[in-house]
Structure 1
Amino acid sequence: MTPILSPWTRPASAEKPAPKCLRQRVLVVEDELLIGEIAAEALTDAGYEVFMAASAEEAEVVLRDMSVDLLFTDINLGGRDGFELAQTALSLQPLLLIVFTSGRSWICHGMCQSAGVPFLAKPYHLAEVVETVERALRVTAIQ
């Protein structure tokens, strides 16, 4: 028999973080859909408004239609790469922040570091995704 729980005996529901005053928008671009969805869910749970794209071409459509604060993109997207996407994105939205990610960290990390762009190596923990995005947005807010 299943016990009936009163409002006083129900377990407390997990509290979600309070939404940000001005919800910041993040575009996640990942050709591996499951990885992209998981990263997007972590950012949504952290209070961001998140959009997803599975390719550079899809991302450009989003960037033409709406303003976003940060582009979180894989470098190896199958077709055009994340670096090309970033160039196009910055021409469309010059104040856009960018965070790159890749499983080929030994090559890409050095390129990103020399350009002064945040890089997150795969595989990553979801907390690292949120921390990296928050750090990138916070650094810009201070400047």
Structure 2
Amino acid sequence: MAPMLSPWTWPKPAKTPAFKSLRQRVLVVEDELIIGELAAEALTDAGYEVFTAASAEEAAIILRDMSVDILFTDIDLGGQDGFELAQTALSLQPFLSLVFTSGRSRIYHGRCASVGVPFLVKPYRLTELVETVQRASTARSKQ
């Protein structure tokens, strides 16, 4: 006699393939996990599809596997820094927009401004983050 399966043990139906989102995709790279999660939540609430990474190396793996529109990265990540990550990202996805952040504003602000890349000084307000990413997204769509 065959065992009777309860509804809780039935195999789950196959999922239908997910359609690519029409929302802008943002990769948030932040080694301070709480800050990264808060940034990701704010951007998700603003309507972006958000992915997170805690290191440049983890972000590079994501960038090899998935197309993103905007890279929002801390510069001081430990290991590879945000500038090295940006070079890798642009070699993989040349039309990617960049936004940098750091608590060391005096060192990095001028460097970012000289190449026309948005820079957010830490600590930043989440509204500033969303506005900066929106500007980067708008600039990207005009390319």
Query: Which amino acid in the other structure matches residue 45 of structure 1?
Result: D
Task: For 2:95, give the aligned amino acid.
Answer: L
The list of structure 1 runs, each at least 4 consecutive aligned residues, that deviate by more than 4 angstroms after superposition, is none
- One-letter amino acid matched to 2:27: L
Normalising by the residue count of structure 1, what TM-score does the alignment of the two structures yield? 0.84
Partner in structure 2 of residue 121 of structure 1:
121
Report the 3-state secondary structure (helix = DSSP H, G, I; strand = E; otherwise coil) of the residue aligned with 1:71.
strand
Give the distance between the partners of 2:139 and 2:65, measured in 1 at CA. 26
Give me the CA root mean square deviation.
Answer: 1.0
Q: Which runs of 5+ in 2 are unaligned?
A: 1-20
Residue segments in structure 1 that go unaligned for 5+ positions in a row: 1-20
Larger Rg: 2
1:58 corresponds to: 58
In structure 1, what residue type is equivalent to 2:142?
Answer: I
Distance in 2 of aligned mates of 1:64 and 1:120: 26
Give me the identity figure in percent. 76
Secondary structure of 2:99 counterpart: strand
1:94-127 CA-partner distances (Å, limit 9, x unpaired): 1111000000001100000001111111000000
Q: 2:140 aligns to what?
A: 140
2: CA distance, partners of 1:120 / 1:54: 18
TM-score, normalisation: structure 2: 0.84
Tell me the distance in 1 between the aligned counterparts of 2:41 and 2:62: 18
Per-residue deviation at 1:22? Answer: 2.0
Aligned-pair CA distance for 1:140: 2.3
Residue aligning to 2:94: 94
Classify the secondary structure of the residue corresponding to 2:101: strand
